[in-house]
Amino acid sequence: MAGRRAILAVIALILLTEGAGQGLREAASARSDTLCQRGRLNEFLPDPRRDWNGDGSLDSGDDWIELHNAGSTPWDIGGWKLDDSDAPASSIPYVIPLGTVLPPGAYAVFYGNVTGIDLHRTGDTVRLLTPDGSLADLFTYSVGPNGGSYSLTDACVWTMALPPTPGRANGYVKVYLPLVQRDASF
């Protein structure tokens, strides 16, 4: 064959979240359908290994918490609060600015440099509180995800098995590998 060279492949690696229910490293808590179908904690990253907030430094400011409006109506999160463990020495809750509204299907990410919340690397509790301080959602973890995030799957189960996706749907993303030209003789 001329040149004995061939374009071997364009590989579209598409891993879909539908399979996320299998092989989870941690399925810490299944949650009620009611909670999963409305506004909720959706993902968080407690042990950053990169400059997630893009401010040029790597520190606890790169922790982040993601909220998601899984409901069908706008979610006014102004006045709602984010916090870590409610232990006495804990930081005070972060109050989401008034006027913050998440449309249906939207995501919002709150970084540690804004919230002042430094989630513990090896274990902590992430809490979402209503404006009156009532507990709306929480997740407690005892194993650090080593630079990764805890994500809520489509099956509404927390897992460490998915890559971090701040501001986007949880799950694997489409990765298109470049054209590869190789000598077909080997």
**d(C-alpha 5, C-alpha 175), whole Å:** 25
**d(C-alpha 140, C-alpha 137), whole Å:** 10
85 binds Ca ion per the rule CB under 5 A: no
Rounded (10°) CA dihedral 167, 49, 56, 61:
70
Nearer to Ca ion, 43 or 137 (CB): 43
124 binds Ca ion per the rule CB under 5 A: no
Shortest distance, position 84 Cβ to Ca ion, whole Å: 9
DSSP SS3 for 88:
coil
Using CB under 5 A as the binding criterion, the count of chain residues that bind Ca ion stands at 14
The pair of structure tokens assigned to 44 is 């968080």
55 binds Ca ion per the rule CB under 5 A: yes
Q: Which residue from 15, 31, 60, 95 is in contact with Ca ion, where contact means CB under 5 A?
A: 60
Q: Which residue from 20, 119, 126, 152 is in contact with Ca ion, where contact means CB under 5 A?
A: 119
Binding mask 13-52 for Ca ion (x = CB under 5 A): ------------------------------x--x----x-
Binding mask 64-83 for Ca ion (x = CB under 5 A): --x-----------------
Shortest distance, position 60 Cβ to Ca ion, whole Å: 5
DSSP SS3 for 21:
helix
Shortest distance, position 80 Cβ to Ca ion, whole Å: 18
Q: 175-176 and 12-13 as β-strands: parallel, antiparallel, unpaired?
A: antiparallel
Residue type, 10: V
**d(C-alpha 162, C-alpha 149), whole Å:** 7
CB 109 within 8 A of CB 166: yes
Shortest distance, position 137 Cβ to Ca ion, whole Å: 15
Consecutive H or E run containing 35? helix 33-36
| Residues at the interface with Ca ion (CB under 5 A) | 43, 46, 51, 53, 55, 57, 60, 62-63, 66, 118-119, 165, 170
